[in-house]
Amino acid sequence: MDLPQHETALPKNDTQGNHPPLPLLITGVAGVAGYNAFRYFRELYGEQVIAIRRPDNWPLQRAGVFPCAVEDAIELSRLFEEYQFASVLYCGGSCALKSCELDPAMAWRVNVHGISSMLDVIKHRPTRLVFSSIDLVFSGDSPFSENGRRGYTEETPPDPVTVYGKTMQAAEQVILDRRPDACLLRISLPMGESFNGHAGAIDWIQSRFQKSKPATLYYDEIRTPTYTDCLNRVFAEVLHRDLRGIYHAGGPRRLSLYEIAQVVNRLGGYDPDCLFGCPRIEAGPMPPRAGDVTLDSSKLTAALGRPPFDPWPYHEEHAPTHHEWHRERTPNDKGSSTHLEAMLYCNPAAR
């Protein structure tokens, strides 16, 4: 049975009149959230939308994407002088957990000094800033809010267990201290296409199954994933409106990493014997793993006046019900990479 279609079930290009201040600069285009946001806004507003990538990421060649490290204040200032950006959607940062653990200096340079550099450049400008943070600023050890609702609220003090989470918490505080008119959206796993085919959660899991290699995911790391179709429209509305401070932007369906892999395995028609599960404690100390980092997005829902996200996956029958669910193949299971892309990379309700 399908879940009811929410108000977010709009045509792909429909922003409900929520036009961001233009020109718009997008950072972090190498990541899933930034890449899909760039394609979305570029299709709507053409050359008024610019993105930057790290200079060493030469494979990311797209019209409107320029090489510029966000911590390079000189080059960033030059771009601002040339394009006079009225808004910034900041999706940049290094999110590779192990790389951040092994090289904390790099993580702090990219994740904290990067946003500091951006704030220096826009210090005397009326630039609208929306910053994409992450659910991993929480440990996942106690995801119950004081009001009894399931999940972390914006009032819960962060307690990250990874270098990545700690640097994102520090970046948040820098923005709150220096740019109180900015909006910080804590997202979970954005589900959509990546520029290189392996940067996203779906990509990595699917790549293992496509090669008939084993993939081991955790039973007890819980996330609240969202379609990038929905996230793009949230970005558009938040850029357009005067929302300030921190808002949680997690989807309505809670899934473990193991359950996410179950969905990919079954909808892609892959060998169920390739999927393995284990608790986080068996993963070893490097990198540390968060637990249940469910986000309570009630504040964002109230601010927008509507549920911001459809569930991922959208169809109820695509949601796992037990640990062996991915093995329950029926004659109605379409099981192909094409079916997977249609159901998991794109919101079926947005077509």
pLDDT band (50, 70, 90) for residue 57: confident
Average confidence (pLDDT) over 306-325: 96
Mean predicted lDDT score pLDDT of the chain: 90
Range from 11-15, 154-158, 286-290, 344-348 carrying the lowest mean pLDDT:
11-15
Q: Is the previous residue joined to 252 through a cis bond, with omega within 30 degrees of 0? A: no
Query: What span, in angstroms and rounded, lies between the C-alpha atoms of 312 and 254?
Result: 9
Kindly list the domain boundaries of the chain, sorted by start residue. 24-350
Other CB atoms within 10 Å distance of the CB of residue 152: 29
pLDDT tens by residue, 72-92:
999 999 999 999 999 999 998
Write down the CATH number for the domain with range 24-350: 3.40.50.720
Angle between helices 32-45 and 228-240 (to 10 degrees): 60
Name the percent of the chain lying above pLDDT 90: 76
> So what's the pLDDT on residue 144?
61
Question: For residues 19 and 41, what is the distance between their CA atoms, to the nearest angstrom?
Answer: 10
CB contact at 8 A, 274 and 208: yes
User: What are the angstrom distances between the C-alpha of 125 and each of 87, 128, 146, 297?
Assistant: 10, 9, 38, 30
pLDDT of residue 145: 52
Residue 2 reports pLDDT greater than 50:
no
Give the pLDDT band of residue 5 (cuts 50, 70, 90).
very low
Q: Which two tokens stand for residue 296?
A: 């309570």
Q: Which two tokens stand for residue 103?
A: 């090289």
Residue 293 per-residue DSSP state: -
pLDDT for residue 8:
39
pLDDT for 177 equals: 97
Predicted confidence band of residue 15 (pLDDT cuts 50, 70, 90): low
50 vs 351 pLDDT, higher one? 50
14 pLDDT higher than 90: no
Q: Give pLDDT, residue 273.
A: 97
What are the tokens at 194?
Answer: 């990546």
Q: In the predicted model, is pLDDT for residue 10 greater than 90?
A: no
- At residue 3, the pLDDT reads 33
Question: How many angstroms separate the first and last alpha carbons of the chain?
Answer: 18
pLDDT of residue 6: 37
DSSP states of 174-196 as a string?
Answer: HHHHH-TT-EEEEE--EES--SS
Mean pLDDT of 139-166: 83
Q: Using one digit for the tens of pLDDT, what is the confidence trace for 93-122?
A: 888 889 999 999 999 999 999 999 999 999
In this model, does residue 200 exceed pLDDT 90?
Answer: no
Would you mind telling me the total number of residues written for the chain in this entry? Answer: 351
- Which of 141-150, 175-184, 275-284, 300-309 is the least confident region? 141-150
Beta strands in 230-331 (DSSP E): 245-249, 255-256, 275-278
Tokens of 113: 């000094």
- All residues at 6 or more sequence positions from 209 whose CB lies less than 8 Å from its CB, including other chains: 215, 264, 265, 268, 270, 271, 274, 275
Total-model pTM: 0.92
